[in-house]
Structure formats: structure tokens, C-alpha cells
Structure 1
């Protein structure tokens, strides 16, 4: 394709991709393939605009699979590999010119695309080179807001890559730095909560999920994640409320349905345990009744019958233990001198 014609076509697609409604239309029209091709073979301007357009399109979840399908050719491209090494060499210089900054922006977008096609190691290597050279890149920008946005973009993508590679400490560090750059970055709070939960810092994870919900009260992932934490902590009276709100605000998450079903099944099991405990209690097997009531309370902590019957069973147990017959049985098992 003629380079000028390719630039014009890519620029047009970039402009279209800025509109939310067009993100699906561009993918449906088959425009992802020529954008990836431009990212491989186009001029510097075409590559930068193609990367930006692909980034915009990838904001729609279902488009990422299509980008990934064409990514097999993208990631094997010699032209792309040469471009990355050339840009890395440019960025190693401490003297940054406007043209070099343009290359840095292009490389940031390429790193983001590599992330979306699950080339995490490749994306991380590009981002690390950019991150090491962030200060001189920021110096070339007179608008501090743009500089901070560039820095924030790298932080959030580094954090995402570290999380995908299970480097949780590094992911936590970079998500916190991204939040320091932008305290309204909703997804960072949710993703940081995920990383903290996976690292075993449950209380801190809850705090960041709640911070996410303070910014966006109907955030489905944060709601569902809190439900999961409370379910794992056996707080069965709390977890369902989060799952129900999750289902009320989205139709794209199916796990809450399954988890609610599990909880309701356990609650049915609690009823069965109480009934069996009642039977044990009626026939004088108080210890076994107590065990069933305790299990029922653990499953459904707010179940009144389980608590009331457990208290009654404990009372009966104390009365039985004070009877002469039981005292004689205890003496018989330990010797008469013990009495």
C-alpha cells in the first residue's frame, strides 16, 4: 500500500475509534487486520496512530480476542522487532528530542498492545526501558498533565504485567504508585485489591475494594470480590448481599450466580443439621446434637433456631453432667479413689 494512503486510512480509523460506539463497528468491519499490518510495516506516523487506534478498540473486551488472533503475526514480525530495538537505543540517550518522545509514545502503545495479546515478557521489557528513561521524557513536555499521564500509563501497565506474571509484590507497588499519580483511577483500586487478596493481605484488600466502590458504587468486580472474601471467611450472612448487588448492576459476571447457589445449598444443609440435632437431643445424645448445631451456626451465622437450640443443648449438657449417675460413670472410668 502507498505509505501516504496508509497513513490517511489509519488516521481516519484512529479518529473513528475515539467514539465509543465506533469501537465495535471498526472491529466488525474487519479493520483490526490492516491496523496491525500498519503497526508492522507503516511509517512512524502510521505506526503510532495504528497503536493508538488498537488501544482504543481494545477497550471493548470482545475486541481483544480478535487483536490477539492477528497478534500471532504481529509478534513474529521482524520489522516490529527491529523497531523495538531501534527505539530502545534511542531512549537510552539522556538527550531527548521531540521526535524521540514521539517514538516513546509509540513504544508505550506497542507495549500496551503486546500486553493485550498476552506477550507479557515482551511488553515488560519495552516498558522497563521506557520507565528507566521517564525523567528526560517528562522534561521535554511543557504540559505537566501530559507528562503525568504518560508516567501513569506506564505504571498501570507495568502493574498489570507483574500481576499476570504472579509477581504480586511488584504489582502491588506499581498499582499504589499509579494511584498516587491519579487518586481517581478506579480500576487501580480494584486491581490492587485483587493483588493484595492473592498475596494474603485480606484486610488491606477489603479497604481498597471499598475505596473502589467509594468512587464507583456499582463497580461489579469490586462488589463480587468483596462477596468472595466474605464467603471465604464463612460470613454467609454478608456475602449474598454483595452478590445480589453485583447481579443487579451487570449481566457479564456469572460467578455470583454460582456462589449464591452454593450459599443457598449450604443454608439448606444448615436446616438439615438443626433437624438432626433436634433428633439427637430428643434421644439424649446431647454431645452429637451440640456438634450439629455448631456446624449449622458456622454455615448460617444468623439462623435463630440453631443458636437457640445450641444454647438449650449446652444447658441440658450442664444439667446431665451434674447428675449422680453421670458422676458415678466418671468415677468408674477413672478409679474410685478419684471420687
Structure 2
């Protein structure tokens, strides 16, 4: 990406612009957006950054400005040197520890210890090195699901990025059939390289990971390998809402869906879509401005003391 547009505004205004972006169905996806605080000591002062593979046109600037309800604040436009900005943004990030998982880039040493699973995830063009609050929150939720006795024999990680969440789920349920998918073709070699680096078996048998490139659930292999006990999707709120019926159909009664990539302000809309699709909340985590949701599909018959056709409410007090 060789050009960047930056707009500065208070946090709530930038977050509202990001929500508007997800609801803009005619958005040009050559324009990649991100919002962040401008400094750690200024948590309420944010910036909206837009990266483009071309010099911004008047229409590009207008599309970004239209995301702001009162019009965009002053925007700066700059040409960037030829650099892999996605990889650069993920370098030199500190390791994280979530539940039994220690995740780090190759610049940091591995850790070993009782019950600890170390993952080395190099910075790459694929999303998900573990440091983002949504990815880290998903690792914590997977550990919580295991601790609460979730049984997983068949899992899928949709929008897998680097493959990290699929790897983590396979560690917790090592005999499960595992499938990972992403819409971006760059992720296939990244996932396979990361699997080899971390000793994760690839293939089509139980305990092995199969990687496919697919748009949502629109893939013959994803359909053939379902239905799933666990479906993971750390993507964006807009696609999560759109895919709710497909995800529900892909999960067994009593099965679990782990959702992330949504702001806390978007949670109600996402949960409503999944409630309509027959799922209810089992647990949630909030990390910063982000929500991580564990949903269970209504089961037929009795499940852990619940009434017929209902799921127990495990969300209380957590």
C-alpha cells in the first residue's frame, strides 16, 4: 500500500466511523481502515487511518469523509515508501500469555513450562499474531471453554489469518478434525508455514489441520466436513451478522460458536442476529473496546439439566 489518509478525532467519533464503514456495503475494499489512539497517554484522542494501493482520488476522500456523521475532521494525505506496512506494524510486539498459551514473534524467545503451549507466529500479511485484543481474547475464551467441559470433535476457524486460533483449539482438543479457512489467498502459505514452525500437523485426518481459501461458508469442503462442534470467527461485525444463518446451520445442536472482531458497541446487533439463528450467549469477555462472545446453539433434548430445546445460561457472573 503506497498511500495513507489520516483523520484525527475523539475516540467515540472514530469508532462510529468504523461502524459506518462496516455497514457500507458498497465500500471499496482496496481501502483498508484502522482506528487507534494516537498515544498511550491520550486514550481519548484517536486517529482513523486509511491505506490505499494508489494515489487517493477525490471520490476516495469523499468516501472516507462520509463515514463521519458530521463530516470528516481535517485529513492528511501522504505517500508511503515501498514497505510491507502490515508486517512492519506487527514487528517488535511484546509476547502475550493467555491461559495455557504463550505467543510471540521470532524476535522473542520461546517459553517452556508445565501446561504451557508456546506458539511462534512471525509478523506477516495475515492477521492474528496474538497481540490484538480480539485474538488474545479468543485464546482466553478457548481456554475457558475447555475448562467448562466443552467437547470438540470437529472444529472450523473461519477467517483464520495466521492460523493461531486453529492451532490453539487443536492443542486443547488434540483429536479433533480441524479445518481453517480465509478469504485471502495469502493466508494459505502463511498458515502452512506457521503450522510447520509450531509442530502442528496438517492433513485431512483427525488431529490434523486442513486449510482452504473460501468466502464465508461457501466452500464444498467446509460444507462436507461439517457440521461442527466448534466454529471460530474472528472477523468483523458486519460479516458476522451476515453469516449468522450460515454459521448456525454449520454447527451441531448444542455446539459452540466463538465470535470476535466486534466492538462492544456492536455487540447487541451481533447477538440479536445469532439469537434469531437459534443461538444464545454462554459467556463473554471484553478486552478494551472489543467483545469476545461464546454462543451455544439450542439443543434438542436435555442438555446439562436444561429444558428441552433450551441451553443453560453460563454467562452469569463472568
TM-score tier by shorter-chain length is under 0.3
Q: TM-score, normalised by structure 1?
A: 0.23
Of Structure 1 and Structure 2, which has the larger fraction of its residues in helix?
A: 1
Of Structure 1 and Structure 2, which has the larger fraction of its residues in strand?
A: 2
Q: TM-score, normalised by structure 2?
A: 0.24
Name the larger-Rg structure. 1
Q: Select the structure with the greater relative contact order (CA < 8 A; seq sep ≥ 6).
A: 2
